[in-house]
A and B are shown apart, each in its own frame.
Chain A
Amino acid sequence: MSWTYQKIGHMFRNVSSVSRSTPVAAPRRPQAPSTAALPRRLYRSSVGKKAVMAVTGGILVLFLVGHMLGNLKVFLGRADFDHYAHWLRTIGEPALPHRVFLTIMEAVLTVAVILHMWSAVSLARRARQARPVRYAVRPKAQEHRYATHVMRYGGIIILLFVIWHLLDLTFGVVNPKSGGAEPYDKVVADFDPSRWYITVFYVIAVVMVGLHLKHGLWSAFQTLGWGRQRRYRGLHLFADVVAALLVIGFVAVPVMVTIGVVK
């Protein structure tokens, strides 16, 4: 039996009723197959960039779950909350020196945030260039999901919030208490009823995070290749539940301080 090659391309079009004398853009050639290292190969393609977003996003979600559970210790009282905050600095002792585990975690999170944003900015730019002329009638969103629509702007709002949040409760720059104060005191002072607008700001920011995850979580599974018709309902449900639980868990602390349950 002789083996020959069968072309799969059979979709040649003829453009009827229009002369082809108009200049048509020359075919763009892709780059030669790369023998570069894995990170570079990954970062070359739009799909690879999305995978970077999915994995770094996953790291950040895991952090958020831990962060939220830690926050809830505020309801167990001052001693428990402050003890937990100090424990974060002593994880791994005596095998690890003081604060080494926490520093590694901070470094991983910083790298994750940078890679996540780098991919997002790069893909957003590509998308902008891919449609230079906009539609006169705004395309009707067939699958309209608010969460999907606000991924990019929501991401910027979340970034600004994270900067504020670090200046507030980590470094104490914009907190009524100084950076060296006990964590419990900083939280209670921050969300004091007189500073209700700070609480409102936190609630809005956390809801933005929730919306970001409502799309981001299931989208990460899709990007990493696990999306199938039969799994979509489950993936959406998982994303919605995780997003909702995180929002409730995070909002609980500032709101309870402001209404005076936690003092």
Chain B
Amino acid sequence: MKLTLKIWRQRNAADKGRMASYELDDVSPDMSFLEMLDVLNERLIIEGDDPVAFDHDCREGICGMCSLVIDGTAHGPQRATTTCQLHMRHFKDGDVITIEPWRASAFPVIKDLVVDRSAFDRIIQAGGYVSAPTGSAPEAASIPIPQADAHDAFDAATCIGCGACVAACPNASAMLFTAAKITHLGLMPQGQPERYGRVTAMVDQMDAEGFGGCTNTGECTSVCPKGIPLETISRLNADLLKATAKG
């Protein structure tokens, strides 16, 4: 496959950045998207150029490190798939592919396609702790949990914190991410003691980081590689409003 790549190049956070064009001649449809970028980088290194910086780690779709807005869609054209699990067979010979970093003021570009997502870590930190006994594992059936709640909590807990929701949101809102954490802990008996303090602190931190507000467009959930459902956001809203009413 012959491809033209238009890639965002930016030396550092202070650099203005620009789009650069690259031609790749010998792309196999069996390559993953990141392997395709590896091939480009090897060539750039041999030619004495600066390789394109992009985030990646497990390449198994579970760590949340990879990102990339591919032709305007976070994590590319295949639904419920991270960029690392996206394969070149979803593209055609002669395609022009535009690759950009997540765009949000709360996710400043560090270099090229790498953004600083530590705002998410600070939202998690603001959530604090859950009061849970540590030490030896408790008897499994000692805390009964309704099956439906367990399923919903588990669905929310699959969030890998990649930030695609922010990238896709027209408001650059971090609501789906924050809501996944709130839902995951709020549905569990272990999450109850700090439930309302947690939602207030996490939403405060989310707002302080400069993310936009949610307008219920649903763009986040459609690009989410883990398919975190939109109802998590409504659960967060319910908890936050209850916490606000309580004071």
| A interface secondary structure, majority | loop
Interchain CB contact under 8 A, A135 and B55: no
Is A6 close to B, CB under 8 A? yes
Is A25 close to B, CB under 8 A? yes
Is A102 close to B, CB under 8 A? no
Q: Which residue of B lies closest to A28 (CB)?
A: B208
Within 8 Å CB of B200, what residues of A? 33
Interchain CB contact under 8 A, B116 and A24: yes
Do A129 and B105 contact each other (CB < 8 Å), given the known contacts A24-B116, A141-B219?
yes
Q: Which residue of B lies closest to A24 (CB)?
A: B116
Interchain CB contact under 8 A, B103 and A134: yes
Interchain CB contact under 8 A, A13 and B234: no
| B interface secondary structure, majority | mixed
Is A158 close to B, CB under 8 A? no
A 195-225 binary contact with B (CB < 8 Å = 1; else 0)? 0000000000000000000010011011111
User: How many residues of chain A get a CB closer than 8 Å to chain B's CBs?
Assistant: 73
Do A13 and B114 contact each other (CB < 8 Å), given the known contacts A142-B219, A151-B215?
no
How many inter-chain residue pairs (CB < 8 Å) link A and B? 240
Interface segment out of the listed A41-49, A56-64, A65-73, A104-112: A41-49
Is B62 close to A, CB under 8 A? no
Complex interface residues of chain A between 119 and 134 (CB less than 8 A to chain B): 123, 126-127, 129-134
Interchain CB contact under 8 A, B237 and A135: no
Interchain CB contact under 8 A, A24 and B110: yes
Within 8 Å CB of A229, what residues of B? 229-231
Is A31 close to B, CB under 8 A? yes
Interchain CB contact under 8 A, A228 and B203: no
Interchain CB contact under 8 A, A30 and B72: no
Interchain CB contact under 8 A, B131 and A219: no
A 9-46 binary contact with B (CB < 8 Å = 1; else 0)? 10111011110101111011111010100100110111
Within 8 Å CB of B1, what residues of A? none
Q: Which residue of A lies closest to B206 (CB)?
A: A46
Interchain CB contact under 8 A, B56 and A16: yes
Within 8 Å CB of A226, what residues of B? 234, 238
Is B26 close to A, CB under 8 A? no
Tell me, in angstroms, the Cα distance from A218 to B212 when the chains sit together: 20
B80 to chain A, nearest CB (A): 12
Do A22 and B12 contact each other (CB < 8 Å), given the known contacts A11-B64, A137-B100?
yes
Is B95 close to A, CB under 8 A? no
A131 to chain B, nearest CB (A): 4
Is B69 close to A, CB under 8 A? yes
User: B19's contact among A1, A136, A138, by CB below 8 Å, is which?
Assistant: A136
Interchain CB contact under 8 A, B129 and A7: yes
Interchain CB contact under 8 A, B222 and A142: yes
A 138-150 binary contact with B (CB < 8 Å = 1; else 0)? 1111110100100
Within 8 Å CB of A143, what residues of B? 217-219, 221-222
Within 8 Å CB of A137, what residues of B? 69, 71-72, 98, 100
Within 8 Å CB of A12, what residues of B? 121
Is A194 close to B, CB under 8 A? no
Do A131 and B212 contact each other (CB < 8 Å), given the known contacts A7-B129, A137-B98?
yes
Do A47 and B132 contact each other (CB < 8 Å), given the known contacts A133-B103, A219-B215?
no
Interchain CB contact under 8 A, B240 and A48: yes
Tell me, in angstroms, the Cα distance from A224 to B237 when the chains sit together: 6
Complex interface residues of chain B between 18 and 65 (CB less than 8 A to chain A): 19, 53, 55-57, 64-65
Is B192 close to A, CB under 8 A? no
B 198-220 binary contact with A (CB < 8 Å = 1; else 0)? 00110111111111111111110
Interchain CB contact under 8 A, A23 and B13: yes
- Starting from the known contacts A35-B247, A139-B74, A140-B71, 8 additional A-B residue pairs (CB-CB under 8 Å) come to A22-B12, A27-B118, A47-B236, A130-B171, A130-B172, A131-B103, A131-B104, A139-B170
25 A-B contacts (beta carbon < 8 Å):
A3-B131, A6-B132, A13-B65, A13-B121, A15-B116, A16-B55, A16-B56, A16-B65, A17-B53, A18-B53, A18-B114, A27-B122, A30-B205, A31-B208, A45-B203, A129-B105, A129-B210, A129-B212, A130-B210, A130-B212, A219-B216, A222-B237, A225-B238, A227-B230, A228-B231
Which residues in B have some Cβ–Cβ distance to A below 8 Å?
Answer: 6, 8, 12-14, 17, 19, 53, 55-57, 64-65, 69, 71-74, 98, 100, 103-106, 108, 110-111, 114, 116-118, 120-122, 124-135, 161, 168, 170-173, 181, 185, 200-201, 203-219, 221-223, 229-231, 233-242, 244-245, 247
Which residues in A have some Cβ–Cβ distance to B below 8 Å?
Answer: 1-9, 11-13, 15-18, 20, 22-25, 27-31, 33, 35, 38, 41-42, 44-51, 123, 126-127, 129-143, 145, 148, 151, 215, 218-219, 221-229, 232
